Amino acid sequence: MPQAAKPHVSQQIAVGVFLCTLGIAGCQAGGAGEPSEPKAAAERAIEPNRPKIVVLGDSITAGLGIRLDRAYPARLQERLDAEGYPFKIVNAGVSGDTSAGGLSRLDWVLEGDVRILILALGANDGLRGLPVPEMKRNLSTIIQRATERGIAVLLTGMEAPPNLGETYTSQFRDAFRELASECDIVFFPFLLQGVAGVSTLNQSDGIHPNAEGARIIADHIYSYLRDMLPEISEP
């Protein structure tokens, strides 16, 4: 399995700036890029027999500030189609969402023939300084419910703002690693690897990835996802 490098200190600082505005930007955008349950239902109706990969996340996943077809879930779909895989990517990103929010909508998100869940939540928990054990419990429950349905899980990690202190940021980072080990699931340690803090890969707000940044995120995730596909592909 590919191993992602540990985030550089400069990237951790950049993530702190990113997180300090992430939830605010999501609220100001009025839910831009936020998928609605009716829309998800419509997608299911259009392609009822196509197995799905659900990406459960926040504004990064939702593609806040860029066209939906340039968000990283759409880029993942392009890679799957190009390599002949039958899966349909479902973008279940909601701007400003926390691990608790993701858990609250999990049942309808996992409706239908879902084969893989890409779990990309936690950034807004860190932004708000929510208790790490609470976040870890929410994510653990999501993972457990998915695996009970026979759904494979790919967990992506995130960094907490450095202004919350070394103890919190370390516990926050470790929570993702511990979950991956305890639940024996595929793990990509840092969702914004190679993108955080790089001005040319982010929008003018310096926070959210632009189309090229989203493409890089998709490339990193796909390097993990691709290894999972033979095991869950249709015969």
Q: So which residues are the catalytic ones?
A: 59, 205, 208
- For the whole model, what pTM was predicted? 0.82
Whether residue 36 lies inside any domain: the answer is no
Number of domains the chain is built from: 1
Residues of 85-97 as b/e, b for ≥16 C-beta within 10 angstroms?
A: bebbbbbbbbbbb
pLDDT per residue as tens digits for the range 151-193: 999 999 999 989 999 999 999 999 999 999 999 999 999 999 9
Per DSSP, which regions of the chain are E strands? Answer: 52-57, 88-93, 114-120, 152-156, 186-188
Whether residue 35 lies inside any domain: the answer is no
User: Which amino acid is located at 183 in the chain?
Assistant: C
CATH of the domain at 204: 3.40.50.1110
> pLDDT-based confidence at 202, cuts 50/70/90?
confident
pLDDT per residue as tens digits for the range 67-119: 999 999 999 999 999 999 999 999 999 999 999 999 999 999 999 999 999 99
Q: Which range of residues forms the domain containing residue 217?
A: 14-30+50-232
- CA–CA distance from 122 to each of 11, 33, 115, 129 (Å)? 17, 18, 22, 11
Dihedral, CA of residue 141, residue 146, residue 147 and residue 148, to nearest 10: 90
Whether residue 19 lies inside any domain: the answer is yes
Q: How far apart are CA 78 and CA 200, in angstroms?
A: 23
- CA–CA distance from 171 to each of 112, 126, 132 (Å)? 35, 11, 7
Pairing outcome for strands 114-120 and 186-188: unpaired
pLDDT per residue as tens digits for the range 16-31: 555 554 544 444 443 3
